[in-house]
Amino acid sequence: RAAWNWQTAPAVPSAYQPGTVINAKYRLVRRLGVGGMGEVWVARNLTLHAETAIKVLRRDLAESGEIHERLLDEARAAQLEHPSIVRVYDFGRAEPGDPFIVMEVLRGSSLGHMLDAQGALCPTYVGQILLPILSALAFAHDKKIVHRDIKPDNIILALEPNERATAGLFLAFQYPLEI
């Protein structure tokens, strides 16, 4: 499957290389993963000297106005402040025109990666993973926002500073929800 692998990125050709500077503000450090719509990099904010993650849309999809709007919707929806929703800091277009989102860096791996490595999980652990996810989804739904792509690869089991694993959503929201 085409999964985000937060441990090592697959050997897929990229339009970007480590050291590339996006919008004179973000220096790419290393690629975290590749997915159907783009790739995610660890980057350094050159102004704030802070580590971030940047999701860059695939160049062949960047021309599609619909895909660009979906990425912009994802950035807007991610402005939700919830402990299990990744924070988004910026949105823009790289010099070649590729749309990007700048997010917080999550340390950990995807639920998909964990399932591939370990197989079935014990029910207690499944509950510990699902409760924060359901809380985040309910929070988003209360704001009339629906997640567009819930799957194990978009659920990051992030490690907090105290090393306790918590579930966080890597977002693909539809904004606003049409009811």
Q: Which two tokens stand for residue 10?
A: 């697959």
16 Cβ contact partners less than 8 Å away, ≥ 6 residues apart? 22, 28, 31, 39, 41, 56
Residue 153 bears catalytic tag = no
CA distance 27 to 94: 12
Element containing residue 34 per DSSP (H, E): strand 26-34
- Both tokens of 40, joined, read 């995610």
8 Å CB contact between 67 and 61: yes
Active-site residue, from 60, 142, 149, 153:
149
Which residues have a catalytic role annotated? 149
